[in-house]
Amino acid sequence: MNRFETDVLAQIRRRGDGVKNGRVLVAISGGGDSTALLALLWALRKSLGLEISLAHADHGLRPEAVEDAAFVRDLARNLDLDLAEACLDVKAHAEKAGLGLETAARDLRWAWLRAEAEACGAMAIATGHTQDDHTETVFLRLQRGGGAGALTPLPARQDPRWSPLIECRRESLRRYLTGKGMPWREDASNEKPFTARNRWRKLLEAIRDEAPLLDRHLWETHLQVRELHELAEAGIRSDEGARWRIEGDVLWLSTDSWGEIRLRSALELAFRDLGWPREAATLRALAPWLLERLSGHDPVTAAATWGNFTLNFEPTGAYLHRTV
């Protein structure tokens, strides 16, 4: 192994990704990230005890996809690896489900990848997500009002997805491939501003010129935020059952003395468990409204309404309902 491969192996072991001694299905487009992913996992396969299979999807959106598929077939043939291929009708799915092309492609691709992973007995689906992807995701989350939730790192392992390159920069992966004399395919659609991610990608290029270590510093910041978040969540979870709990599709809240920050933190966890939208601005406005009513609780008080939330009182607390 060379130095870069050794560093990636060390990252995988330090994080405790838990992917070893089994089969991995590598999602490969032929682009630089996924080609580097294959090259690295091939180099690390003995150290991790991995067997590798490949999966390539044609989304039917680009004429170059035929050449991409041929490129991936050559990679599979040269390494003597099993390759599963699929042609996905993304446009038809997008129209039928009322989705954007990016979302429709992701839905179809992951449904197919999960089925292929099960069919070949893979313990994980390896993807080429990089630290650059992480940075882009952070800005997308902030743009959408993600609050503190935006400041947590993308996990390297989120079953069945495994992203062993999450701490690697795209440019380092290209240098790695160049050093090994391995070509890759470029997807010209990544340069077109028809998705929010592509637009952020272009904006971040200028920011990185000013702050070359942005991605690394952002990653380290998020690791620290995650640790603080885990400590805070443990404290709020200790209140579950006694001060708040989920009953079906509603949230029960006690009338015990709440501080606004603690109540807002409980709402954040409960909304996540319920699958309710939890924009930071919404929680920041909802918490004081609830606090005022819970602290002045009267068992015979009529239901109170805020936006699409309704609070129904009972002798020991209140039930928060959400209407869509």
| Nearest-5° Cα angle at 50, 46 to 54 | 125
List Cβ<8 Å contacts ≥24 apart for 100-106: 101/61, 102/195, 102/197, 105/59, 105/61
320, 309 Cβ separation under 8 angstroms: yes
Closest CA to 24 of 155, 116, 130: 116
Residue 167: DSSP 8-state: T
324 residues of the chain, pLDDT tens digit each: 899 999 999 999 999 999 999 999 999 999 999 999 999 999 999 999 999 999 999 988 888 889 999 999 999 999 999 999 999 989 998 888 898 888 899 999 999 999 999 999 999 999 999 999 999 988 988 888 777 677 776 789 998 999 999 999 999 999 999 999 999 998 766 667 767 888 998 899 989 999 999 999 999 988 888 888 889 899 999 999 999 999 999 999 998 889 999 999 999 999 999 999 988 889 999 999 999 888 875 555 668 899 999 999 888 889 999 987
37, 75 Cβ separation under 8 angstroms: no
**pLDDT score of 1:** 84
Q: Which residue ranges make up each domain of the chain?
A: 3-134+153-202, 243-322
Q: Residue 309 is which amino acid?
A: F
In the beta sheet, which residues pair with residue 50? 22
**pLDDT score of 297:** 56
**pLDDT score of 188:** 66
3-state class percentages of the chain: helix first, strand second, coil last, to nearest 5 = 55, 15, 30
Structure tokens at 209: 């010129």
Half-sphere exposure of 184 (CA within 13 A, CB side): 24
In the beta sheet, which residues pair with residue 318? 253, 313
Structure tokens at 103: 């979302």
Q: Are strands 317-322 and 50-58 parallel, antiparallel or unpaired?
A: unpaired
Q: Residue 50 is which amino acid?
A: L
**pLDDT score of 281:** 86
Q: Are strands 317-322 and 309-314 parallel, antiparallel or unpaired?
A: antiparallel
| Distance (Å, whole) CA 131 – CA 254 | 42
**pLDDT score of 298:** 55
In the beta sheet, which residues pair with residue 158? 161
**pLDDT score of 222:** 85
**pLDDT score of 191:** 66
**pLDDT score of 173:** 97
pTM (predicted TM-score)? 0.77
Query: Which listed CATH number (3.30.460.20, 3.40.50.2300, 3.40.50.620, 4.10.640.10) goes with 3-134+153-202?
Result: 3.40.50.620
| Distance (Å, whole) CA 264 – CA 284 | 7
| Distance (Å, whole) CA 17 – CA 11 | 9
